[in-house]
A and B are shown apart, each in its own frame.
Chain A
Amino acid sequence: MEETFDVVPEATGASQSALSQPRTRELLARNWVKAQRSLMAFIVASTPQFSDAEDLLQEVAAEVALRFDDYDPSRPFLPWALWVAKIKIADFYRARQRGPVVFLDDSIDVLAEACVRVQETLSEERFALERCLTKLTDRSRTLLNLRYFEDMKPQEIGGILGMASQSVRVSLSRIRTALSECVLKATLKATVTDG
């Protein structure tokens, strides 16, 4: 399946072999740290079950390390790592004898391209997000804790809070939208201040 992917690694030539081993390790570490969060988000898009996504990220990390000699350091790292991630995601679904989740089957490349486009701003947005989290109401915090800390599905949360699961879904979605808008405002403000 991997031959069909749009994003392919560049020809390597002698680029990596010319680097010393410590230098290669350093380059790998720097690139990985920068790309890891985006890669994780990309994997979560393919496998929303978080424990699966974490396992997959580890496999991607191992594969990236194994193949790192093939990487051309003159090219951006993230597209190459995404290519490796797509191979691993395909392997994951093949091993479980089930197809990728229905909507992502056709959208994975579009999301990979988006991942590359927004990568540079994610770091700043992450800091803004941390500030926005402090502005949440008590009830929003409770809902997010139940969803992410307790890893509960909307139906289970509804059972605990005495809400219909549809209401929980809508509430969670609106909390995320409110956080996204807060991040957008914060980053725009920062741009204006910096500019």
Chain B
Amino acid sequence: MDDTEALQLLDAYLDHESLSPDQAEALTTWLREHPEHADRAFRRIFLHTFLRQGLQYAPLPAPAILTVRREPNLESHYLQGEPLATDDRLGSGRRPRTIAMRWVLVLSVAFCLCGTAAWIGYRSRSSTAVAVEGLWAYEGFDYPPTSPPAPLGNGNLWPTSGGMQGLAGGFGWAQHWQETAPKVSVLIADVQANAWRASDMRKLRPLGYSDAQGQVLKSTGIQLRSAAGPLSATSRLLDVTAFPSAFSDEYGLGRDGAVLWISFLTQSFDGRGLGNFAYVQLGTDAAGFRLGKLAAVPSGNWSACGILDGAEMNVRWTDIPSGQPVFLVTRITFRTGGEEAEIWIDPPLNKEPSTTGATLNVSLPDFRWDQLSIKSRYTTDFDEIRIGGSFRDVAPIQ
């Protein structure tokens, strides 16, 4: 066994992988072969311990941007300035550009801009928007709080059964809530008593929203709390027949031309990102829309994206940390081809916010939907889910 193979086996062991008896024997033989091997192995274990101790409370600074979700050549990029043989670097890597390359770039950008302008023009004429006022579905999580409450501070003790399973309040739904992951969401009344840890940013006040003019969003106290650690998936089917017929076709909600408004309140335990997620999903993993804290956004800030074939696409993020409570309002315009989502964070409640004032604009794949899910591996609160035909419907003032 060569050194590389031996160290990979040692790494696998330290990463909690089981070694086969043959692998264990080979590793032992290598280790005993020469004192230098044992020294190298111990240094490797020391490195692993150092990383674990150093990073368990404070992560390395998060990457500034992450635009590519799948990176097939990941293995060849490790250190900046200390590249391995095949390294062409990721993240900060910049290669010198020739003048010709710059011209190609400029022409490409110009071509894209022209194409985009033509596309927008086409899209704006390609379908007629259908807006019908009304609140078609609502969930305020007005159930008794989960009892006994989830144990605090240890994700391993998070409830694995019960949760929202079988609860069927609100209106506009075809079925009760279903829990489909190893952990479940719970219902919280007293945010202070249920602070996950001392640093839980949700303990200051229950979810709610009042705008700069002091107008207060209509909301009630109990809120849903998603699981700490992997994984909770709390889903519910909508009653498509409760929506105007112009909003749906035989595949579900989202008939071309429909304009739907969706809003909810949310706040995460804190703003941490780095692969953590807690979001509301419309549709399925095959095609749909996600809004919340997304795994693909290292900062953990509030974000949105489309979903196509299980992959997050067109990820857009804000500069607002997910530890901050927010009132998220989304307008989805279902068009021929793909859909367009505009998202406002904490808009004034007195009138419909302007398109130019949208916090995020996200192009989505063409999708139909009849299911709303709350998926999480980082405990986050949600409340007051509303789906309607206008801003006023999903942002009622007290």
Closest partner residue, chain A, to B276 (CB atom): A150
CB within 8 Å of B: which A105-148 residues: 106-107, 110-111, 113-115, 117-118, 122, 125-126, 129, 132-133, 135-148
Q: CA A138 – CA B298 in complex, angstroms? A: 10
Q: Which residue from B4, B21, B78 sits with its C-beta under 8 Å from A136?
A: B78
A139-B91, A174-B78 known; A107+B59 contact, CB < 8 A: no
B35 touches A (CB below 8 Å): yes
Q: Check B56–A107 contact: CB distance below 8 A.
A: no
Closest partner residue, chain A, to B21 (CB atom): A102
CB neighbours (8 Å) of A37 from chain B are 46, 49-50
Q: Check B56–A148 contact: CB distance below 8 A.
A: yes
Q: Which of A21-29, A85-93, A159-167 is near enough to bind chain B?
A: A159-167
Q: CA A137 – CA B13 in complex, angstroms? A: 25
Q: Check B46–A38 contact: CB distance below 8 A.
A: yes
CB neighbours (8 Å) of B89 from chain A are 137
Q: Number of residues in B with C-beta < 8 Å to the partner?
A: 72
Q: Which residue from B44, B48, B63 sits with its C-beta under 8 Å from A142?
A: B63
Q: Mark B55-89, 1 if CB is under 8 A from A, else 0.
A: 11011111111100111001101111110100001
A40 touches B (CB below 8 Å): yes
Q: CA A174 – CA B76 in complex, angstroms? A: 9
CB within 8 Å of A: which B16-65 residues: 16-17, 19, 21, 23-25, 27-28, 31-32, 35, 38-39, 41-56, 58-65
A135-B80, A146-B274 known; A102+B11 contact, CB < 8 A: no
Q: Check B55–A103 contact: CB distance below 8 A.
A: no
CB within 8 Å of B: which A1-60 residues: 37-38, 40-42, 44-45, 48-50, 53
Q: Interface residues of A toward B: which range?
A: 35 or more
Closest partner residue, chain A, to B69 (CB atom): A162
Q: Check B79–A182 contact: CB distance below 8 A.
A: yes
Q: CA A36 – CA B38 in complex, angstroms? A: 19
A65 touches B (CB below 8 Å): no
Q: CA A101 – CA B81 in complex, angstroms? A: 38
How many whole Å from A189's CB to the nearest CB in chain B?
12
CB neighbours (8 Å) of B81 from chain A are 135
Q: Check A167–B15 contact: CB distance below 8 A.
A: no
Q: Check A169–B15 contact: CB distance below 8 A.
A: yes
Q: CA A138 – CA B63 in complex, angstroms? A: 5
CB neighbours (8 Å) of B43 from chain A are 118, 122, 125, 180
Q: Check A111–B45 contact: CB distance below 8 A.
A: yes
B14 touches A (CB below 8 Å): yes
Q: CA A156 – CA B182 in complex, angstroms? A: 14
Q: Check A137–B275 contact: CB distance below 8 A.
A: no
Q: Which residue from A42, A113, A148, A175 sits with its C-beta under 8 Å from B55?
A: A148
A129-B50, A139-B91, A169-B15 known; A174+B84 contact, CB < 8 A: yes
A44-B45, A132-B79, A179-B47 known; A148+B52 contact, CB < 8 A: yes
CB within 8 Å of A: which B153-196 residues: none
Q: Mark A167-195, 1 if CB is under 8 A from B, else 0.
A: 10111111111111111010000000000
Q: CA A107 – CA B19 in complex, angstroms? A: 14
Q: Check A48–B14 contact: CB distance below 8 A.
A: yes
Q: Which residue from A45, A129, A137, A167 sits with its C-beta under 8 Å from B79?
A: A137
Closest partner residue, chain A, to B48 (CB atom): A44
Of A126, A148, A154, A182, most buried by chain B (CB within 10 Å of CB) is A148
A62 touches B (CB below 8 Å): no
Closest partner residue, chain B, to A51 (CB atom): B156
CB neighbours (8 Å) of A157 from chain B are 275
Q: CA A170 – CA B73 in complex, angstroms? A: 12
Q: Check A173–B7 contact: CB distance below 8 A.
A: yes
Q: List 15 A-B contacts (CB under 8 A).
A: A38-B46, A42-B42, A48-B13, A103-B13, A107-B28, A114-B42, A118-B39, A142-B63, A144-B55, A149-B56, A149-B58, A153-B15, A160-B295, A161-B70, A183-B47
Binding site for A on B (CB under 8 A): 4, 7-8, 11-17, 19, 21, 23-25, 27-28, 31-32, 35, 38-39, 41-56, 58-66, 69-71, 74-75, 77-82, 84, 89-93, 230, 274-277, 295, 298, 311
Task: In the A-B complex, list the 5 residue pairs whose CB atoms are closest, starting with the nearest.
Answer: A138-B63, A138-B91, A103-B24, A114-B38, A148-B55
